[in-house]
Structure 1
Amino acid sequence: MALFLLPAVLFLMNLGGAPLFDVDEGAFSEATREMFVRNDFLSTWLNGAPRFDKPILIYWCQAVFVWLFGPNEWSFRLPSALAASFWCYAVGLFVWQRFGRAAGIMACGIAATSLGVHLIGRAATADSLLNMLLALALLDAWRHLESGARAPLLRSYLWIGLGVLTKGPIALLVPGATTLLYCLTTRRFKDWLRSVFDPLGWVILLVITVPWYAAALAIHGQAFIDGFILKHNVQRFSGSLEGHSGSLFYYVLMIPALLLPWLSWLLATLRQLPTDWKLPERRFLWVWFIFVTAFFSLSGTKLPHYALYGCTPLFALLAIHRERVKSIWLGAAPALLVIAAFIALPSLLQHAASAGWVKNAYYLAQVERISAATPLSYYLLGLGTLGGALVLALRAGVVWQRMLAIACLQTLLVALAVAPLVGDVLQGPVKRAAFVARDFAEPGVLWNFHAPSFSVYRQQVTPTEQARPGQIALTRVDRLPADAKVDVLYKEGGVVLVRMK
């Protein structure tokens, strides 16, 4: 029962407690909202312009819940939370069936409490859904390689097709390359060829993917090829898109951060690689992790959540080696430090602002609100979480079980206190400015400010363009020209809503 309750509680708890974060959450949510405005559920638009960033499936999923519950944070994030829950269930069940009940619960728990999974599983973007589908595809691919049964192979084609409909060719690349490399290392290349050229599998894949891609090409023509295929796929690998670059060792630092608070188990598991390589299931898991990490390390565009595509096998491997961390204090130290850092976060940000460490005028104005935005309950929850974690560490019991309980406390603190606070500091002014803008009939624009969540909360398409007289405009304090003739309608932090004269 715990295997099914834990992820759902952690991902759904206070799911709508923070405003939508710009740019990504705001963009996905506004594109879904505009489907209803335009009555167009085949193509996506953002503030009146075509949006080719991702395929259609995540928008359809969001649209279902928007239709049921209205355009709010809960509706936009619910598909990701459900996908993340099933992602955790999938890895937990896989490990349970092969390594026992305790390992299965541990794998599910590690997935549900790792910081990177928690954040992406509560974000209104496509990545949680893609991670679930990649996990299902590769776990079923192993079931086929393990037994030769055709049913898991056909399911794998199903998950890959849905993945291609979620984020594009990456859903083909990761399962195809992982299984190829595994089969090459085990001299099973003929088995791989038979699996990737299964006729019925390709029928399933094409039936799922071709209709929408053909429709998008028919609607948008060359613009779809240039925007989706060339820019958001080819250019993401060949160059740094939208300034998201990093060194070759970017993910060496990022993966431990995404797996917080499970660093001790990560280090213990890495030491077992030579031994694991001799065992088929474990070799497959390591090949999966190593390929994804190497591939995205070579990519020109680097974002933290890309590493999560290869973290599913780590959740399984950490659970398999759960007994290798003997000291609760060694295991719990990262969690205790993270919880303490969260408690100190408002003071640290306030000090950074007052000491002049924040140079950008916009972010300085946002951060300067931190003291006023932090309720007493934030500190009470933080101290209560730290106290609970220390009590669990001091109690007798199995180390990994106590650590899982501590990780759950850390995750709940993020959901109930940290994310709402950070969301209010960074996005609260945008949200409240949008509510003020609803009272004005003038057309509105985003002026030198890409904040698509403003359109979601204002419930109107708000293009990004130069403001003209007679319009209202949302802008930033550092981007409002000193000689601009405006009436200030609302100002909070670094966000300014003005009427142009």
Structure 2
Amino acid sequence: MDQTHRHRQAPAQRPVIIDRSQHRCSVHALLSEVIKILGSLSRPTRWYASWQAALTLVLIAAGVYLPGLVKTPPIDRDEARFAQASRQMFESIALPDDRLDPEFHAGDLIVPMVQDRPRLNKPPLIYWLQTASAWIFSAGDPSHDAIWMYRIPSVIGALIAVLATWRLGLVLMDPRSAFIGSAMLAVCPVVAFDAHQARADQVLLALCTLLLWQLADITRRAHIGRPARAHSILLLWVCVGLGVLTKGPITPMLIGLALLGMGILGRDWKPLRAVHPWLGITIVAAIVLPWVVAVAGHVGFREYVQIVFDETIGRSSSASEGHWAPPGYHLALLIVLFWPGSMLTGVGFVRAWRLGVRWGGQGRRWRDRSAGRFPELFLISSVLPIWIVFELISTKLPHYVLPAYPALALITARALPPAGAGALAIARSRLAKLGYALWSIVGFVLAGSIGVCGVALSEVPSIPLILLSAAALGLVAVSAVLVFQSRFIIALRLSVVAAAVIAFGVHRFILPEATALSPKIVAAFNAHGPDRPLAAQGYKEDSLVFLTRGRITKLEDHAGHLWLREHPTGLLVRLTNPNPVPGETVLDTITGFQLGRGRFVSVDIVERTP
């Protein structure tokens, strides 16, 4: 029997339709769950004023400041100069008399020296602190010191600044905003970078923040008609005096301009009387004058006055060492250097201005102004006048406005709750949304840059940096979405974690390799004879001075050949010369990154041909 085969016709395939609305819903649901989890991590208000909050801030800051502290070589140029001056000061009091060099160690504890040159453009407190740190950690033996020992005062200064910002916030606002503002300051790039260097800026930041904390307490009490506490006045002026011994006129400028701002904006001069300025001047003079007299006895009063003039008036009227920039320079860099705290800085400042200064009459005329809410008036006065001064002076460096950062962090933090609750119309404006977009772009660039460095720098481990970059990019992406949804507090929490991840990648992996050229040169010197005379031409970074313990001589261009003739056993490092030089033998060629100039260079280790 014939069998008929019945072939079923395959059903027509239906086109696959992707329901994008469901996809969006799933992403939204996932994001909502993340937000719910983060929201559940919120602490009761009283926790933010407790010792647990202080410990948390210390742990956050330590997690940012400690990675890379020991591993990173001296950073050119300022750090190497500070550390070398402190080392020579340490040697002058620790070495036996028969090992002292009359040119290197003539300054004792009074005049900082870098090799045979006095370094009086900065006052002595930072050198004293670094000397004490190196003495403690080296057990009093300068031959056992290391660069990280001279960085400890900067780390401690940054930690004090973070905690003092928190305490300042507790005087002026709710505890949660105080905590958030301190966390912003702890992880922002400019503080994280400076805390890894043996310089004066973090000690100055600590003193400025302590000063503002006491000034806020004194002026708040004056605002409500209560007398200032004696210990607050004493601590205030001690901080001013120690600040003068750290970096000259910055602390007097900060307190003077803050009081001037409160007087002008609020038309109330009671805060000026409350700080007892004549008593303060006496305390500051008692702290500063003994060292001024001592240093004038070493170098001459007229010479020291000229140095002070050049470092203050001279830097203000003309650019020093080529560091000129137009007004607006610090404001333009703020979104990067204060990230992630720059999220709502503009919104926060507008809010503080509206609440801190009260305007009478219908025309909002200047003469009808009066003091508004004290916390906002105080914070505006602590930021705006000194910021304007730093924008107007000719010499500009990114860290100059650091004394204004604690108050700026608190202004920003205080704006987060009302902005998130929809109570600030400006937070929903087009200009604010443009700011959020720029903030997000900066975050993506910072997070992506560590991955790019992992690929571009051959000696940097790429896999850890790529993983860190991916984690930071993910955190920034979620934060950016939350910012545009006005979930500012949760977005800031995530971006603080992202900033900590970025800082870890930079300081643990990238910066040690970006500053490795000078150690390679010194290793080559030692390989060819540890006691030979040393000189540098072309590549004359101060890190070489520190790493050779001051033995290297810096030469002018084209002076290397003559120096080799005068020092037949000497070793010279110079930028690579493609043309052979008669009478010279190239022993090594080393390539690396010159951080001081931001470029890759190749250098030769040269000796005289026998």
Tell me how far 1:253 sits from its aligned partner: 0.5
Greater Cα offset, 330-339 or 403-412: 330-339
Tell me how far 1:422 sits from its aligned partner: 4.2
Tell me how far 1:472 sits from its aligned partner: 2.2
Asked if 1:341 is matched to 2:429, the reply is no
TM normalised by structure 1 equals 0.86
Query: Separation in 2 of the partners of 1:207 and 1:307?
Result: 27
Query: Separation in 2 of the partners of 1:253 and 1:500?
Result: 50
Query: Separation in 2 of the partners of 1:461 and 1:34?
Result: 12
Tell me how far 1:162 sits from its aligned partner: 0.5
Conserved 8 A contact 2:160-2:206: yes
Residue 442 of structure 1 aligns to a residue whose secondary structure is coil
Query: Separation in 1 of the partners of 2:166 and 2:292?
Result: 34
For residues 222-245 of structure 1, what are the alpha-carbon distances to aligned partners after superposition, in whole Å with 9 as ceiling and x for unaligned? 575266302222211111000000
Point out the structure with the larger helix share. 1
| 1:403 alignment partner, one of 467, 471, 492 | 492
Tell me how far 1:160 sits from its aligned partner: 0.5
Report the equivalent of 2:465.
378
Query: Separation in 1 of the partners of 2:579 and 2:310?
Result: 32
Structure 1: runs of 5 or more not aligned: 351-369
| 1:486 alignment partner, one of 576, 580, 584 | 584
Report the equivalent of 2:58.
4
TM normalised by structure 2 equals 0.72
Give the direction of change, closer, same or farther, for the CA distance of 1:404–1:72 in structure 2 (3 Å limit): farther
Conserved 8 A contact 2:60-2:186: yes
Amino acid at match of 1:492: I
Give the direction of change, closer, same or farther, for the CA distance of 1:190–1:389 in structure 2 (3 Å limit): closer
Give the direction of change, closer, same or farther, for the CA distance of 1:76–1:281 in structure 2 (3 Å limit): same
For residues 51-94 of structure 1, what are the alpha-carbon distances to aligned partners after superposition, in whole Å with 9 as ceiling and x for unaligned? 12211111111112212224323212111111011101111122
Report the equivalent of 1:169.
249
Amino acid at match of 1:448: G
The higher-RCO structure (CA 8 Å, 6+ apart) is 1
Query: Separation in 1 of the partners of 2:408 and 2:548?
Result: 42
1:73-92 mapped onto 2 (5 Å cutoff): 73-92=147-166
RMSD value over aligned CA atoms? 2.9
| 1:423 alignment partner, one of 511, 514, 520 | 511
Amino acid at match of 2:348: T
| 2:266 alignment partner, one of 180, 186, 198 | 186
For residues 148-170 of structure 1, what are the alpha-carbon distances to aligned partners after superposition, in whole Å with 9 as ceiling and x for unaligned? 31331221100011100101122
Tell me how far 1:251 sits from its aligned partner: 1.6
Report the equivalent of 2:22.
none
Give the direction of change, closer, same or farther, for the CA distance of 1:320–1:217 in structure 2 (3 Å limit): same
Tell me how far 1:430 sits from its aligned partner: 0.7
Conserved 8 A contact 2:172-2:375: no
Asked if 1:231 is matched to 2:292, the reply is no
Conserved 8 A contact 2:460-2:510: no
Report the equivalent of 1:367.
none
Conserved 8 A contact 1:19-1:427: yes
Tell me how far 1:420 sits from its aligned partner: 4.7
Residue 20 of structure 1 aligns to a residue whose secondary structure is coil
Give the direction of change, closer, same or farther, for the CA distance of 1:10–1:372 in structure 2 (3 Å limit): closer
Greater Cα offset, 401-410 or 127-136: 401-410
Query: Separation in 2 of the partners of 1:233 and 1:206?
Result: 18
Query: Separation in 1 of the partners of 2:213 and 2:524?
Result: 49
Query: Separation in 2 of the partners of 1:197 and 1:462?
Result: 48
1:299-378 mapped onto 2 (5 Å cutoff): 299-324=393-418, 326=420, 334-345=442-453, 350=456, 370-378=457-465
For residues 298-344 of structure 1, what are the alpha-carbon distances to aligned partners after superposition, in whole Å with 9 as ceiling and x for unaligned? 11101110121212211111111122554999776643442123322
Report the equivalent of 1:355.
none
Amino acid at match of 1:236: R
Greater Cα offset, 322-331 or 262-271: 322-331
For residues 449-495 of structure 1, what are the alpha-carbon distances to aligned partners after superposition, in whole Å with 9 as ceiling and x for unaligned? 331111222223333234412232333337x9964743334432123
Query: Separation in 2 of the partners of 1:103 and 1:407?
Result: 14
Tell me how far 1:290 sits from its aligned partner: 1.0
Structure 2: runs of 5 or more not aligned: 1-51, 94-107, 139-144, 222-226, 358-371, 421-427, 592-600
Query: Separation in 2 of the partners of 1:142 and 1:424?
Result: 40
Query: Between Structure 1 and Structure 2, whose CA radius of gyration is higher?
Result: 2
Asked if 1:56 is matched to 2:143, the reply is no
Give the direction of change, closer, same or farther, for the CA distance of 1:333–1:246 in structure 2 (3 Å limit): closer
| 1:244 alignment partner, one of 312, 323, 328 | 323
For residues 406-427 of structure 1, what are the alpha-carbon distances to aligned partners after superposition, in whole Å with 9 as ceiling and x for unaligned? 3233223323x22355434542
Report the equivalent of 1:437.
525
Give the direction of change, closer, same or farther, for the CA distance of 1:168–1:250 in structure 2 (3 Å limit): same
| 2:377 alignment partner, one of 277, 283, 297 | 283
| 1:258 alignment partner, one of 337, 350, 369 | 337
Give the direction of change, closer, same or farther, for the CA distance of 1:280–1:449 in structure 2 (3 Å limit): same
Conserved 8 A contact 2:241-2:285: yes
Greater Cα offset, 337-346 or 135-144: 337-346
Query: Separation in 1 of the partners of 2:414 and 2:348?
Result: 9
Tell me how far 1:190 sits from its aligned partner: 5.6
